[in-house]
């Protein structure tokens, strides 16, 4: 006979995503449930995409559709499926007035009074699908600026990251995780999908980026295209120096959600800097850099373009690019010292004062 029942602690690992979102809503005075409902819709769409991604190896969905998206990249069937799934679910939920997607040249502008604008990369890293490397969905949620009596506008999406109401990502990896935040006050939380029952459960509560890490994540294949400061920064990290715990380990998957998630949990730095081929950087501000920057800052990390804080950048185009450097505060500061002081002359390779 059980003699006592141990009451669960107030906020424990293991609660469902729905319960967690409801708790956050209760902590938001004046909440109407619209935002909560939109988060539920994103989680539902993520489950549907996860089911397709898991079967991709078996079903005939790995091939290319033959189409080319607005980025000039050949579109894989899973890209199309993910884009259609998120858009359909969000539209049906009627809480959004505008959706900007990496897969669509123009935003979807919706009537019906939805209060939020969603910027998303439905399936990032899709070139890795065929080799079973982790891929993901990245999203940012803005409060609309336009009058709710009319359909949403492009301006509802062209907002700086400081205006984000929430942001997050899904990583479809060895397990599927949803990581999201509604801001530094509420923290960053990771939920792991239990595929047997189709529910997300809190597995990583209040994720904090370590003050400093021991790995750097950058595509060194671009070295010949980098400026001297970027080259000097990487060379500095590779030097042997016990006092500053160098060399750093190199880790690069080539899938943003995978590289960012590792950096978020373990610390260190991820960089996609500008180079001669991509003078504005490769990654997209609205639906890649901003959501990641929002998450990292909410977790105590930092996010810069090398010249300015990512979240401060005023967007002017839906698909505009930016250099993206995210990670532990100390490691991002080291990058900035090289970027802003032009880096030392090659032979010294010491960190600028
Ligand atoms: P590269 C994937 O195609 C992606 O958009 C991001 O997920 C990833 O961080 C980056 O491009 C990798 O780019 O040029 O290193 O292959």
Q: Per-residue pLDDT tens for 182-227?
A: 999 989 999 999 999 999 999 999 999 999 999 999 999 999 999 9
Residue 7 placed within a domain: no
pLDDT in tens, 310-323: 999 999 999 999 99
Task: Round to whole Å and give the CA distance between 301 and 294.
Answer: 9
For a ligand 1 pocket test, name from 134, 255, 322 the mutation site with the most ligand atoms within 8 angstroms of its C-beta.
255
Where is the domain boundary, 145, 177, 204?
204
Give the number of other CB atoms < 10 A from CB of residue 222.
17
Residue 347 placed within a domain: no
Lowest-confidence segment of 67-71, 72-76, 122-126, 266-270 by average pLDDT: 72-76
Nearest residue by C-alpha to atom 3 in ligand 1: 125
Whether the pLDDT of residue 64 is over 70: the answer is: no
| Number of the ligand 1 atom closest to the C-alpha atom of 254 | 12
Tell me the CB-side half-sphere exposure of residue 181, using CA atoms within 13 A.
24
| Number of the ligand 1 atom closest to the C-alpha atom of 259 | 9
Check whether residue 181 and residue 270 sit in a common domain: no
Check whether residue 196 and residue 317 sit in a common domain: no
Check whether residue 179 and residue 306 sit in a common domain: no
**Helix%, strand%, coil% for the chain, nearest 5:** 35, 25, 45
How far is the centre of ligand 1, averaged over its atoms, from the C-alpha of 119 (Å)?
A: 18
Check whether residue 179 and residue 250 sit in a common domain: no
Q: Are strands 164-172 and 135-143 parallel, antiparallel or unpaired?
A: antiparallel
| Number of the ligand 1 atom closest to the C-alpha atom of 272 | 9
Residue with tokens 């996609």: 272
CA dist 246 → 215, 266, 351 (Å): 9, 16, 12
Token pair listed for 138: 């990245």
Q: What pLDDT sits at residue 128?
A: 85
Determine the average pLDDT of the residues in 65-93.
85
Percent of the chain predicted with pLDDT > 70? 90
Token pair listed for 349: 């390779």
Whether the pLDDT of residue 107 is over 50: the answer is: yes
Helix (H) / strand (E) element for 229: namely: helix 228-238
CATH code of 78's domain: 3.30.540.10
Q: What pLDDT sits at residue 32?
A: 77
Residue with tokens 């078996």: 58
Instruction: Quickly list DSSP for 254-307.
Output: S-HHHHHHHHHHH--EEEE---SS-TT-SSBIIIIIHHHHHHHHHTT-EEE-SS
Check whether residue 259 and residue 337 sit in a common domain: yes
Check whether residue 221 and residue 194 sit in a common domain: no
CATH code of 294's domain: 3.40.190.80
pLDDT in tens, 30-54: 777 888 899 999 999 999 999 988 8
How far is the centre of ligand 1, averaged over its atoms, from the C-alpha of 260 (Å)?
A: 11
Residue 11 placed within a domain: no
Check whether residue 139 and residue 276 sit in a common domain: no
Check whether residue 241 and residue 335 sit in a common domain: yes
Check whether residue 234 and residue 198 sit in a common domain: no
Single pTM value for the model: 0.91
Nearest residue by C-alpha to atom 10 in ligand 1: 254
How many structural domains comprise the chain?
Answer: 2
Nearest residue by C-alpha to atom 2 in ligand 1: 125
Nearest residue by C-alpha to atom 9 in ligand 1: 256
pLDDT-based confidence at 347, cuts 50/70/90? very low
How far is the centre of ligand 1, averaged over its atoms, from the C-alpha of 335 (Å)?
A: 20
Nearest residue by C-alpha to atom 13 in ligand 1: 254
Query: How far from the centroid of its chain's Cα atoms is residue 269's Cα?
Result: 14
Residue 34 placed within a domain: yes
Check whether residue 143 and residue 71 sit in a common domain: yes
Q: Among residues 281, 258, 261, which one has the least CA distance to residue 271?
A: 281
Query: How far from the centroid of its chain's Cα atoms is residue 75's Cα?
Result: 20
Question: What is the longest distance spanned by two Cα atoms in the chain?
Answer: 75
Q: Among residues 262, 316, 324, which one has the least CA distance to residue 291?
A: 324
For a ligand 1 pocket test, name from 76, 101, 125 the mutation site with the most ligand atoms within 8 angstroms of its C-beta.
125
Lowest-confidence segment of 245-249, 283-287, 342-346 by average pLDDT: 342-346
Nearest residue by C-alpha to atom 12 in ligand 1: 254
Residue 268 makes CB contacts below 8 A (sequence gap 6+) with: 213, 214, 215, 216, 217, 248, 251, 262, 327, 328, 331
Residue 337 makes CB contacts below 8 A (sequence gap 6+) with: 351, 352
Residue 9 placed within a domain: no
For a ligand 1 pocket test, name from 79, 220, 256 the mutation site with the most ligand atoms within 8 angstroms of its C-beta.
256
Token pair listed for 14: 């293991």
Check whether residue 51 and residue 128 sit in a common domain: yes
Where is the domain boundary, 182, 204, 226?
204
Domain that holds residue 100: 17-204
Check whether residue 43 and residue 119 sit in a common domain: yes
How far is the centre of ligand 1, averaged over its atoms, from the C-alpha of 254 (Å)?
A: 5
Task: Round to whole Å and give the CA distance between 273 and 230.
Answer: 8
Strand partners, 120: 101, 139
Quick check: CB of 254 below 6 Å from ligand 1? yes
Please provide the distance, in angstroms rounded to a whole number, between the alpha carbons at the two ends of the chain. Answer: 68
């Amino acid at each position: 006979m059980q003699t006592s029942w141990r009451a669960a602690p107030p906020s424990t690992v293991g609660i469902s995503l729905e319960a967690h979102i409801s708790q956050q809503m209760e902590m938001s005075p004046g909440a109407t449930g619209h935002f909560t409902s939109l988060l539920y819709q994103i989680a539902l769409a993520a489950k549907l995409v996860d089911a397709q991604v898991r079967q991709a190896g078996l079903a005939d969905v790995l091939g290319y559709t033959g189409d080319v998206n607005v980025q000039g990249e050949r579109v894989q069937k899973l890209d199309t499926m993910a884009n259609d799934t998120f858009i359909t679910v969000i539209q049906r939920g009627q809480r959004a007035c505008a959706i900007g997607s990496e897969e669509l040249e123009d935003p979807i502008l919706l009537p019906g009074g939805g209060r939020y604008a969603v910027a998303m990369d439905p399936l990032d890293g899709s070139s890795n699908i065929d080799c079973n490397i982790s891929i993901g969905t990245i999203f940012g949620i803005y409060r609309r600026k336009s009058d709710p009596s009319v359909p949403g506008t492009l301006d509802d999406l062209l907002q700086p990251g400081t205006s984000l109401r929430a942001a997050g990502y899904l990583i479809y990896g060895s397990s599927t995780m949803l990581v999201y935040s509604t801001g530094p006050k509420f923290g960053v939380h990771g939920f792991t999908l239990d595929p047997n029952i189709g529910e997300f459960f809190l597995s990583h509560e209040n994720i904090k980026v370590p003050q400093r890490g021991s790995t750097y994540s950058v595509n060194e294949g671009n070295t010949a295209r980098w400026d001297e400061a970027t080259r000097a920064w990487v060379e500095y990290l590779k030097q042997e120096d016990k006092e500053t715990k160098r060399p750093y380990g190199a880790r690069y998957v080539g899938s943003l959600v995978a590289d960012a998630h590792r950096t978020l949990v373990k610390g260190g730095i991820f960089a996609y800097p500008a180079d001669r081929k991509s003078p504005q950087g490769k990654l997209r501000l609205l639906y890649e850099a901003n959501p990641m920057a929002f998450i990292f800052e909410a977790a105590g990390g930092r996010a810069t373009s090398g010249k300015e804080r990512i979240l401060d950048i005023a967007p002017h185009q839906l698909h505009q690019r930016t250099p993206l450097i995210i990670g532990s505060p100390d490691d991002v500061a080291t990058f900035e010292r090289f970027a802003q002081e032009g880096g030392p002359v090659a032979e010294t390779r010491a960190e600028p004062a």
